[in-house]
Structure 1
Amino acid sequence: MLGQAHAGLQNLKRGSMSDAAPPPRDDTDSPGRRLSRRSLLVGGGVIGAAAVAGGVAYGVNASRKPQSSAAATAGASTAAIIISNGRVWTGDPTTFAEAVAINASGTIIAVGTEAEVRKLNGPKTQAIDAKGGTVMPGIHDAHQHTMSGGEGLYYPTLENAVLTVGELQQKVQAILDKQGDDRPDNWLVVVDWNPAGLTDAVAHRKYLDALRTTRPIFLRGSDFHNGWANMRALEIAGLTNDTPSPDGGVIVKDADGPTGLLKDAAQWIVGGQAPPLTEAQQREASEDAFAFLAGVGITSIMDAAGPAARANSFAELTDSGVAKQRISVASGVDKAQIDAADETLAEMNAVREQFKDHPRVKVRTAKVFMDGVSEYPAQTAAMLDPYLDADGKPTDRRGELYVSEADFTKIATRLDKEGWQIHTHSIGDHAVRASLDGFEAAQKANGGARNRHTVTHVQFCSEQDVPRFAQNQVIANMQMQWASPFSFTLASLEPYVGPDRHRRMYPLGSIAKTGAQVSGSSDWPVDKLNPWNQVRTAVDRKGTFSETGGALYPEQGISLNDSLLMHTAGSAYQLFQDDITGTIAVGKQADLVVLDRDLFGVPIAEVSGATVNYTLIDGQVVHDISTQSGQRFINKASFASAASAAPVFQNALATVNRHSVCCGGTRHA
């Protein structure tokens, strides 16, 4: 595990780069000091390496050990690309470098001082001037929903706003009036409705029925666990007072029948009736999504749960050049599939075999949805102790496990035996414990930890379960932008879990101190996609989401160096890419980013606003801020509100959402 192999995550007080004094930089602009500036061409090398000093290998399976910079320089000819004049964060907690050289096949051939790397400068070498910014490994987003993110950019958004019923009605009516077409079968789907932000009522169809329209309306909750429909939408879906709630979901009812509030799986009975995007729209959405990922510095992703066959779609996008990123596809496994384990595994194994030699797309992860979310009004996350009512008194609600302990242990043992990594959505402390129990049982049955099993989200974790991540070599994959005091962690949660559980929310610091492997991700489009705010919030527990100006239990924060490791080397380890990417070292592939600022030379609050000037994958420049397309990303703040911003990216950057995506009738997390 990274936590075992690297002291930076094992001991947060020792060897942290954020505490180390950076080496002096010579900012003179003489020809003898700085590489010549040539126009940048696409092609050449990429980042992906380990440490400069000591050749640190990240992850237990780091089979390709980087050479030293001197050895690489001695055996190399000339570089295709040299990046200089920046602070090179390699992943080593004690050493910064000054320059990186990349060859024509996208491999890093030198990391060190400008004088060392300059020896590889040739007549055709292309130079990237980092202009004093950070040069570092690209972000590995180890849990997102890429297709859903792209598709979601097409729908009107409520921007997760906190609204009264009247204000919400005004916004939805304005959308209806603008679109004009009032055919009774013409669905209006609106995204980014804040289920916890309706200030003066509980969602009910009567408020949507009062709008001037005959159209079916479906508001998709920004937590992806709540949906809100009007009567016309309920009628089309055939929901009546006699319709039973589905497994893993709730059709909320009152004396008059369904209220229009739909929880978890129930929302897709209605939302799934809306027509899908056309093939042309889906293609355009995918192109925009992958350009967006490159623009914010993401070089590898895991699409976190869909049918394994979705890998075919990703393969087509990579083979046609639309998607440059390395892509891992998690195959969703639900209760019905667990019951039919033989058939399920046969299908999954066939897809895994199909993609075993694909250069960009891999299928080796099984995703199991263990519970829901903890916030009011859903409260579907599985908790060890009951939720409280508004007066602080225990209720009879503890949420529920969507997969029982016995069923999860059974399928985990089967999957582990056949070499599958298991990735569980676990929000509540009961779900986290059930996941750890299942992993432990599987490892005992099959001869030890070997498949890098992962628990994602980990919003709540019993203190006695915190050490079990390290003990059982289980990865904690966390979305740290949520570890901030805002509506989802305060008004919609704190009264209902009580102060003791609330203090244990997102216990990253506690888990990391045990030596456990941790990794980072966004859960986009459930949340705003800004990996630099994720990096920042893991440190200060404020980020851009803080509504109080304060921090959410700052004792659970980690150092900047360790947060960067979490989002690069840590996630690369989870994605089985630590032998080729995740750090900057000789012999690794150059998946890297060049930022507009020195992350270690600015206040932590300014990390959130970092702009990516260049993104490289396998030595190819896939994002260049100086180009017309790259200009979209110069000012992230403007995309959230400015009318001049490209609409497709307005939605992506304005959304401030929450857990687990559910799209197209498939629950994700």
Structure 2
Amino acid sequence: MTDHSDEPQPPAPSKGISRRTLLVGGSVGVVVVGGAVAAGISFSRGTPPLAVAKTMIVNGAVWTGDLTRTAEAVAIGRDGVILGVGSNEDIGRFKGAGTEIIDAEGGTVMPGIHDAHQHPLSGAEGAAYPSLGDESVTVAELQERLRGFLASTPDMEPDGWLVVVDWNPAGLTDAIAHRDFLDVLETNRPIFLAGSDFHNGWANSAALAAAGVTSTTPDPEGGVIVRDANGPTGLLKDAALWAVRGAAPELTDKQKQDAYRAGFQLAASLGITSFMDAAGGRESVETFQDLRGRGIVHQRVSVAQTIDADTATDPEGALAQIEDARAAVIKDSGVSVRTAKVFLDGVAEFPAQTAAMLDPYLDGDGSPTDHYGEQYVSTDDFTKLATTLDAAGWQIHTHSIGDAAVRTSLDGFQAARKNNGKRDNRHTITHIQFCTESDYPRFAELEVIANMQLQWATPSAFTLDSLQPYIAPHSYARQYPAGALHRAGARLSGGSDWPVDRLNPWNQVRTAVDRTGSTSETGGPLNASESIDLATSLTMHTEGAAYQLFQDGLTGRIEPGLAADIVILNHNLLTSPIASVSDTTVNYTLINGKVIHDPSRRQ
């Protein structure tokens, strides 16, 4: 298959002088940075190289992606390609009139973060809605917050929608979500709470009525309308939540554009230089091409094409759908389409329990139930789909939380390889909260990438009270098995799943190592034996994710000939305490050699 690609708020700006300056003479022996001499920079006066650097980064702790190779400086050509990596003296050979010097001041210089699984458009748009902040609350506390949101928008009475984001479905501490708790609020407005996990929604009776959801409404493919003796309870799982959420008015074009500008500026400020929209469509492709063309998005963009559960039963129809989206790609737009996304299951936490498990869920007292979760695409249907898409050259990216869904993914990829032969399609399983030990080596054997969101690998509302009582102990002890997969030879890649939680790739990097991160509710780790070391964590968020995105010949490392997608940090990651990694500040973000984030200057 042809690859059609060519290639909270941001941190407060520094009040100090800029660390960037121009080398205005071709034979200058020292660099003047912000009016002062930058210590320790010695430039070679030997034979000049064939190329003159547009930009030189000096005085850094350069992490190239190879721990055996140390460096302190990088030279970047006028075409945005890395010319050289080495000591300050070595890189001084690339100096020339007009070369810009960036002083890293001892901070880590490394490849940009490649976020190989996020939902950036909805992440950016989420900032336009009132937020519950993913907090754990009682029903009374939730109702008080909602009364505040209603009081702040009196112009929306009597029937304007109140859509609230970042509701924590695992964090309602004294009840199970039910429309009755929303119906008692003093309003007739439709109210919809969007779960922070994007797998649960909660609606009041007015919202259900506005969306036409009644006692006789069938469950949609890939979703569940939770019901009791009186009809829908207002709790909606997976595809069912979109039946109600989709009835609410969209943001205005201006609201969307403002949100996108802020959202992608945030991503740049955090060092994200490439990302994959993990659940897009043809419209997403067109939106990203427009945003890149107008300079709102600078990152390299991949857009996975979602195949819903119903379409997944028709492999040829699914192929036609995603090929149509790929046809919308404009050459040299910086947007690529080569991935198909399939949701095999949901999430494991109570009350949803839609992750497909090999062992039954427990009843909370330790006794097995007859509930194994929901597998939205059968093993037989997925095998046929995987075989068809693999033959056509598509990468397949499956949402698989439960160990049964992971096994179905692996079985489908194995069948595709048996039918089609070995191909470089780089199939990927994302999330992998649970996986049986016998399936660990299959990732390497089948060359399947494990894409993981390891900021979740910490004691939290999602891994403690809403999960531990309901999962078999041997499965609970193997949550997010990054260490075991790595030891079994699996290739790891990183992703945030933004906006499922707050975007912070540095906390992802850290939590993969200490399994504690910045949000541990116990102060300790979750399954510490599944940790990986810092170099491995950095690799999965750079080179590993670049490989998943088919950018391994373009980005993901710092070496001559690759594009200068580089970040410069405020400290040396490899010598700092691991807990400090979560609070990393990005001083500069460069894409293709161009500075797109520098808080000391207006962009």
With normalisation by structure 2, the TM-score equals 0.92
Q: Describe the SS at the equivalent of 1:247.
A: coil
2:397 paired with 1:423: yes
How do 1:229-628 and structure 2 match up within 5 A? 229-355=203-329, 357-628=331-602
Partner of 1:145: 119
Whole-angstrom CA distance in 1 between matches of 2:330 and 2:131: 39
- Contact 1:35/1:118, CA 8 A, preserved across alignment: no
Among 94, 108, 124, which residue is 1:134 paired with? 108
Q: Describe the SS at the equivalent of 2:243.
A: helix
Whole-angstrom CA distance in 1 between matches of 2:298 and 2:572: 26
Amino acid at match of 1:221: G
- Contact 2:434/2:475, CA 8 A, preserved across alignment: yes
Whole-angstrom CA distance in 2 between matches of 1:410 and 1:182: 49
- Contact 2:316/2:388, CA 8 A, preserved across alignment: no
With normalisation by structure 1, the TM-score equals 0.83
- Contact 2:395/2:426, CA 8 A, preserved across alignment: yes
Q: Check 1:74–1:559 CA distance in 2 against 1; reply closer, same or farther (3 A cut).
A: farther
Amino acid at match of 1:623: H
Which structure has the higher relative contact order (CA within 8 Å, separation 6+)?
Answer: 1
Amino acid at match of 2:32: S
Whole-angstrom CA distance in 2 between matches of 1:317 and 1:115: 40
Identify which range, 302-311 or 409-418, moves more after superposition.
Answer: 302-311
Whole-angstrom CA distance in 1 between matches of 2:31 and 2:501: 40
Among 160, 174, 198, which residue is 2:134 paired with? 160
Whole-angstrom CA distance in 2 between matches of 1:253 and 1:77: 69
Q: Describe the SS at the equivalent of 1:432.
A: helix
Structure 1 residue runs without a partner (length 5+): 1-30, 40-69, 630-669
How do 1:20-59 and structure 2 match up within 5 A? 35-37=31-33
Among 128, 151, 162, which residue is 1:177 paired with? 151
- Contact 2:450/2:492, CA 8 A, preserved across alignment: yes
Q: CA deviation at 1:181?
A: 2.4
Whole-angstrom CA distance in 2 between matches of 1:157 and 1:369: 26
Amino acid at match of 1:599: L
- Contact 1:306/1:330, CA 8 A, preserved across alignment: yes
Whole-angstrom CA distance in 1 between matches of 2:455 and 2:325: 33
Q: CA deviation at 1:335?
A: 2.6
In the TM superposition, what whole-angstrom CA distance separates every residue of 1:101-134 from its partner, at most 9, and x where no partner exists? 0011101001000000012112211111111110
Partner of 2:9: none
Q: CA deviation at 1:199?
A: 1.1
Whole-angstrom CA distance in 1 between matches of 2:325 and 2:208: 37
Amino acid at match of 1:188: L
- Contact 1:34/1:114, CA 8 A, preserved across alignment: no
Amino acid at match of 1:604: I
Amino acid at match of 1:362: S
2:195 paired with 1:228: no
Whole-angstrom CA distance in 2 between matches of 1:611 and 1:329: 28
Amino acid at match of 2:258: E
Amino acid at match of 1:295: S
- Contact 2:569/2:587, CA 8 A, preserved across alignment: yes
- Contact 1:251/1:262, CA 8 A, preserved across alignment: yes
Q: CA deviation at 1:32?
A: 9.3
- Contact 2:168/2:195, CA 8 A, preserved across alignment: yes
Partner of 2:23: none
Whole-angstrom CA distance in 1 between matches of 2:538 and 2:65: 8
Structure 2 residue runs without a partner (length 5+): 1-26, 36-43
Whole-angstrom CA distance in 2 between matches of 1:74 and 1:564: 34
In the TM superposition, what whole-angstrom CA distance separates every residue of 1:185-207 from its partner, at most 9, and x where no partner exists? 20000011111111111111111
Q: CA deviation at 1:37?
A: 2.2
Identify which range, 340-349 or 283-292, moves more after superposition.
Answer: 340-349
In the TM superposition, what whole-angstrom CA distance separates every residue of 1:321-380 from its partner, at most 9, and x where no partner exists? 111100001011123223343333234224324437334100000001100000000000
Among 69, 72, 79, which residue is 1:98 paired with? 72
Q: Check 1:345–1:309 CA distance in 2 against 1; reply closer, same or farther (3 A cut).
A: farther
Q: Describe the SS at the equivalent of 2:301.
A: strand
Q: CA deviation at 1:622?
A: 0.4
In the TM superposition, what whole-angstrom CA distance separates every residue of 1:401-420 from its partner, at most 9, and x where no partner exists? 11001110101001000100
Whole-angstrom CA distance in 2 between matches of 1:189 and 1:209: 15
Q: CA deviation at 1:466?
A: 0.6
Partner of 1:18: none
Q: Describe the SS at the equivalent of 1:545.
A: coil
Amino acid at match of 1:454: T
- Kindly report the root-mean-square deviation, in angstroms, between the aligned alpha carbons of the 2 structures: 1.8
Q: Check 1:267–1:588 CA distance in 2 against 1; reply closer, same or farther (3 A cut).
A: same
Whole-angstrom CA distance in 1 between matches of 2:540 and 2:220: 37
In the TM superposition, what whole-angstrom CA distance separates every residue of 1:444-470 from its partner, at most 9, and x where no partner exists? 111114200000000000100010000
Whole-angstrom CA distance in 2 between matches of 1:340 and 1:386: 29
Q: CA deviation at 1:266?
A: 1.4
Whole-angstrom CA distance in 1 between matches of 2:571 and 2:594: 22
Whole-angstrom CA distance in 2 between matches of 1:33 and 1:479: 46
Whole-angstrom CA distance in 2 between matches of 1:344 and 1:202: 37
Whole-angstrom CA distance in 1 between matches of 2:78 and 2:248: 48
Whole-angstrom CA distance in 1 between matches of 2:28 and 2:61: 19
Whole-angstrom CA distance in 2 between matches of 1:552 and 1:238: 42
Q: Describe the SS at the equivalent of 2:338.
A: strand
Q: CA deviation at 1:628?
A: 4.9
- Contact 1:308/1:363, CA 8 A, preserved across alignment: no
Whole-angstrom CA distance in 1 between matches of 2:158 and 2:384: 47
Whole-angstrom CA distance in 2 between matches of 1:76 and 1:330: 41
Whole-angstrom CA distance in 1 between matches of 2:344 and 2:189: 35
